[in-house]
Chains A and B, each alone.
Chain A
């Protein structure tokens, strides 16, 4: 469209148009309508329109349609005078708009009544067809396009006036759609809302109108708050104002409509130059922060606070009661949370040692002291070895003295063995169908008398330990018993229950184990041989000793293990005297020193 650039050209010019300059230009261009015209034009323009608007009320369309024809005729007259400069056309447009506001609005109204696009096109076509001179056409075009622009921009809203009101009201009035539709109609208009629009459009006091609007809106919002009393006052005031404004509205309604197109055409730069400041103010102060502040203020006001007083009093009374129960201490008007915080306090005074039972707090080390002796038992592990590994139930009542006097389990065992016959009869632990076999330390079913076959009967003993049969001959009363099954078969019944598993008793002749296996991975918590005839606690190695043994052996292995052939146990065991095989060699070193001496002396 070739018309676009025209519009673009217009905008910068319009941007330069201040109120005064436009008037000046208008004056220069149009001598017939000097500067006073514009104010008068406004006033005059305003005056006739309200009558129609007010009279017609909601039926704008008819009046607008009528005016369209009038406007067109008026335009032609005005535009004929403006033939001189294309350059001035823009101003003429502007002037025309200002001067012939009525005409312009007539066109707008026409457009508004019908569908915007169609009307515009029709108008354009009509203008082109009707108006012969190009200037007129161009002017019409320009005007049309201005109209179009305005209308397009305002297309969303059905009416121009509403549009203007929307422009300013929108930010703060969201529910305004209802009243914006019917701004000037007395019948439908809300009393509250109307004053907003009416007051604002008073030209004598534009600033006030704006500010009032803002305030009112806040008031309206405040009205929603149930606790606020102020808004009622304001409303009362405004109700009075409304009455006045209602009267004025009849006159002023069309003022609004006349002014609106100007704002709509160049909304950002209104001739009054108040809009930007208004926007700023609206957005910044009234919308967001003031409301919030107000609330705080309201809450802080005594009236507001009073509404809460009763509750707090009741709470405080409860607190008072609680505190007075404790220490009679109370503080005024403090919420409960604050009091809770105060209860927390440091319990340990750094300067004074605190005693709690047998414990003392040492402020220097910041530790509690007094129970160090508990750790002493860990230093007496050796003494603990004397305790039996297996805690057994007291088997017979005949033995209390034995167990009480001597802690050694061995004697107990021997005693019990001797008394076994008796104790078995008198004291058998029977639970349900199970009886405890004290000899074998297992539970046996009473019903099944036959002894279970030894599950290991077919398994050969890995390493028969010295059963010392030959030895038995020499040293008669041999209760000696290697804890092997062989010994068991010999007729010695008692095997120490404290012996660990047989696998732990390694045969000294088990040479097949290599060094790696020898390094102990198993830990013996305590190993001891407890026999009925052996009361020696010396033969119970505690864990510390065993650990030391393994440690030293492993250390030897690391240090000097390389001097020995792996798995060559001939050196280790005296039984396998490999030296005997090489009779001369092992003794040869014994001649070494003599040879040295003899060699040195010679």
Chain B
């Protein structure tokens, strides 16, 4: 029983301080990887606690959406078009998560979006798309790491609606802002690489969108993705931009030497090590100015931010 498991099993006295302790535990000790049931549960519980996602009634809610069946036809068609190729290169994922689960969760999410559209609540986040390409990949680590579909769905809902709502609107506003921020961060952290890529007309809009949108879950291996997510659930998914930068930095030699860096970056990125990426990404924080960092934090939830793209 890891210390995180033990910590989770104890009811917190003061939630905020306990959450801080839990974050630090995730940072310092980390969670084990794998798709063993207990590991799944520990990770799922950790994520649910860190993201303040209550699994209360999650099964009931999920079943109610599943009962609605597949999502409305154009949506379902798009979903169906993507689910079958979700992380097909990862055998671990394939054996763990069925396409049906992806279909059900994505359809349920679509139903949820449709439902929430009708709720007139000013506090509601910006309208999300019922489905955008990449949601399937975004959902993949959750289904992979959660012991049951309803919990994965609940976490996915939290992620989409509360953590990265700007990413998933119809225009993918947050993603594009993130791409800009990625360029800015890369320029700050690794000017040489940034210049090389820009010289090759490779902006983040071209190569960074998938990693930004899917919060790095499109990268391999999935277990390392989960580790990244552990950290990001703890300290914020804005770190994803810095992690993408870190991944680029780790392969900068390949990129710089590559004849066609475009092919290297727009296709499958090489496998990464989460601990290394986290170390690098956290290390970058010292170089990131406060303003940029605030933008990083804000771009996930705030549609109306102005990225001073040309200033950097």
Contact = CB atoms under 8 A, between A and B. Distances in A.
B238 interface: yes
B202 to A, nearest CB: 28
B166 to A, nearest CB: 13
Contact of A518 (B20, B56, B234, B283): B56
Contact of B23 (A480, A559, A592): A592
B167 interface: no
B286 to A, nearest CB: 5
B59 A550 contact: yes
A552 B9 CA distance: 15
Interface of A: 465-471, 475, 477-478, 480, 482-483, 499-500, 504-509, 513, 515, 517-518, 520, 524, 527-531, 533-534, 536, 538-539, 541, 545-546, 548-553, 555-557, 559-564, 568-569, 571-572, 574-577, 579-581, 586-587, 589-594, 597-598, 601
A590 B238 CA distance: 8
A546 B59 CA distance: 8
B273 to A, nearest CB: 19
Nearest to B63: A527
A470 B73 contact: no
Given A505-B67, A534-B69, A597 B282 contact: yes
A539 B70 CA distance: 7
Given A574-B125, A592-B235, A560 B45 contact: yes
Given A508-B61, A576-B123, A594-B288, A553 B148 contact: yes
Given A505-B68, A546-B59, A574-B125, 5 more contacts: A518-B59, A552-B59, A561-B56, A574-B162, A590-B297
Interface string B45-67: 10011001111111111111111
B285 A598 contact: yes
A557 B157 contact: no
A574 B117 CA distance: 12
Contacts of A515: 56-57
Contacts of B201: none
Contacts of A529: 66-70
A575 B121 contact: yes
Contact of B114 (A468, A530, A534, A577): A468
A494 to B, nearest CB: 13
Contacts of B149: 545, 549
Nearest to B22: A563
Contacts of B239: 593
Contacts of B66: 527-529, 539, 541
Interface stretch (B100-108, B182-190, B206-214, B258-266): B100-108
Nearest to A591: B297
B235 A597 contact: no
Contacts of A509: 115, 119
A553 B151 contact: yes
Contact of A590 (B9, B154, B236, B282): B236
A591 B296 CA distance: 10
B118 interface: yes
8 contacts: A506-B60, A509-B115, A513-B57, A538-B70, A538-B100, A538-B103, A539-B70, A556-B45
**Chain B interface helix/strand/loop/mixed:** helix
Contacts, number: 231
Nearest to B296: A590
Contact of B150 (A483, A505, A506, A553): A553
A548 B301 CA distance: 34
A109 B70 CA distance: 128
A506 B64 contact: yes
A559 B55 CA distance: 11
Contacts of B111: 466
A581 B121 CA distance: 13
Contact of A465 (B63, B104, B115): B115
A527 to B, nearest CB: 6
Contacts of B19: 589
A562 B48 CA distance: 12
B57 A571 contact: no
A483 B68 CA distance: 8
A381 to B, nearest CB: 15
B8 interface: yes
B57 A548 contact: no
B72 interface: yes
B293 interface: yes
A468 B65 CA distance: 14
B285 A594 contact: yes
B131 to A, nearest CB: 12
A332 B244 CA distance: 103
A505 B103 CA distance: 19
Nearest to A538: B100
A471 B115 contact: no
A475 B73 contact: yes
A409 to B, nearest CB: 14
